Amino acid sequence: MATEQVVRLTQQVKAGGCASKLPPGSLRAVLSNLPVQDDKNLLVGFETSDDAGIYQIAPNLALVQTVDFFTPLVDDPFTFGQIAATNALSDVYAMGGRPVSALALVCFPQSGDLGTLEEIMRGGLAQMTEAGCTVVGGHSVRDDEMKFGYAVTGTIDPAQVKTNARAVPGDELILTKAIGTGVITTALKQGKAEQAWVDAAVKSMTTLNRAAAEVAGRFGGVHAMTDITGFGLMGHGREMAVGSGVTLEIETASVPLIEGALDAVRAGAVPGGLLSNREFAECMVSDVEGAAFSDEVRMLMYDPQTSGGLLISVAAEQADELVESMRAAGVGAVRIGRVVSTSEGGNAAIVLK
């Protein structure tokens, strides 16, 4: 009797999820050479490497626009679609916006199983529906390596925009999801992952940042916000530090890790994106005197996250209430550090403790 051969999506691509993106240093080199756009309605562009663009269309209304797509990082097509949608929506939430509409982006092999593509798109649509975001169309091209994602448009009051460049010395840093999706999905691709690790990573990657963003939006002391995705905690932390002209102090022992993340690193499941992130950001990262943490933990600080959580810089007097409110809303928020002034004449930086 013939048996049906199961196709593993992760075996069809060289790198999965946000680990498949261009290295941050390469992208920065190109973007820094582009001309500055002169448009008074462009409130947030790509100059500060923020999560989404903000374009004002009326006195009290602006568009939040972003696009995100990548290769499979899990084997189940429906789950891949869910993760791709959640990740694309996250950029709108990170700016404090409300997603309204989306366009699907599909790259798929000419000879690929259309049933697989249908399941991917069903998973994405299910997640968009949960977010209250309407998929209005899309575009597809033939590609030997499948890729999927969305261009998402949201709305926001220009006065309520949360950027990654307004952190204030004295703020506390809050992280809303554990890290480790990059190394765990790499372990899955290499056949080294335990199912419990994969299940924990998938749960994280399919959890919308909507609740976290809605709670954060109720606190006037939230000064800056970004989501932790392909450039990892250090890469996105670097952008916040540079954009705000401050130093971030990160307590490594407080940074939550997904079950199996340390085991995946120890098993050698290190994505290329992690190494690129480290090359890009490590020049700004130093250890406080007497700091003691393992090399595996250090590596996870650079792990490329897919559909990661929000990093929030909030006034110290509101930090406890923000964390409590998030936990009441089902968000696993934790305090992981603080914002301090740069040393006199010094540059923005990150210090690991």
Catalytic residues: 18
DSSP code per residue over 129-192: HHHT-EEEEEEEEE-SS-EEEEEEEEEE-GGG---SS---TT-EEEE-S-B-HHHHHHHHHTT-
Q: How many CB atoms lie within 10 A of CB 57?
A: 10
DSSP label at residue 336:
E
* List of residues 6+ apart from 318 with CB closer than 8 A: 219, 220, 221, 222
Rounded Cα distance, 303 and 247, in Å: 20
Angstrom CA distances, 25 to 39, 49, 238, stand at 27, 12, 12
Region of 345 (left: φ > 0; alpha: ψ -120 to 50; beta: rest) is left
Q: Is 271 helix (H, G, I), strand (E, B) or coil?
A: coil
